[in-house]
Amino acid sequence: QVQLVESGGGLVKPGGSLRLSCAASGFTFSDSYLSWIRQAPGKGLEWVSYISDSGSTIYYADSVKGRFTISRDNAKNSLYLQINSLRAEDTAVYFCATGWPGFYGTFHYWGQGTPVTVSS
Amino acid sequence: EIVLTQSPATLSLSPGERATLSCRASQSISSYLAWYQQKPGQPPRLLFYDASNRATGTPARFSGSGSGTDFTLTISSLEPEDVAVYYCQQRSSWPPLTFGGGTKVEIK
């Protein structure tokens, strides 16, 4: 079955950096689009970034543009999110998610999430 | 950016009652709307995609409808396990992909 397992979250000071990872299994990773979506404590869902199956198309939310970098390694079935210049408002659980080929932007499968806390 | 407005913010009903959740888009999104259910401490789970297509495992008491700017998620007979926050999300015009603010369903 499809599995997405995030890791790399933690406590970081404002201005710091983290690299989140998402290990995927149970589907053809190289044919799949992926996104990072986050959820601040007690708040709703916010889409963060998207990467196409080949990695040639990448999008970011305005709130993270210039600070976050999404990437993937199809040989390792892994998705990454490099997050720099962290701010308190980046505190959230970060989910990786994917969907059926052709249904771009719909998320049929989600990981359990990895928490990121930005605090001094 | 397409804004999705969900109402009501909270819905408190007795078991067996009908729950009607609304999602309104700031402009037409055709049928490119998904509904997700999120229980405490869990990731969201897809219920419907493209407005009315049932995702795998979605119980038959749930139904999705609508097109254009107005969409509805209906639970025909509320069960205790349906307590959750429900989000709508559009994929018609992006980036950005956008979510509604959520409707919390409680048991009275």
- Minimal Cα–Cα distance from B55 to chain A, Å? 8
DSSP A5-27: EEE--EEE-TT--EEEEEEEESS
- Chain B CB contacts of A60 under 8 Å are 95
* A74, A29 Cβ separation under 8 angstroms: yes
Provide the pLDDT for residue A102.
Answer: 84
Match 């198309």 to its residue by tokens.
Answer: A57
Provide the pLDDT for residue B82.
Answer: 98
- Chain B CB contacts of A108 under 8 Å are 46, 49, 55
Q: Average pLDDT by consecutive 10-residue portion of chain A (120 residues)?
A: 97 97 97 97 98 96 98 98 97 97 92 98
Residue B47 has pLDDT above 90, yes or no: yes
**The dihedral of CA B63, A46, A3, A115: what is its sign?**
negative
CA dist B50 and B67 (Å) reads 9
- Angle among Cα B89, B91, B95 to the nearest 5 degrees reads 105
Total beta-carbon pairs less than 8 A apart between chain A and chain B: 59
- Minimal Cα–Cα distance from B100 to chain A, Å? 8
Q: Residue B44: which of A50, A103, A110 has the nearest Cβ?
A: A110
Residue B69 phi/psi, 5-degree rounding, is: -120, -10
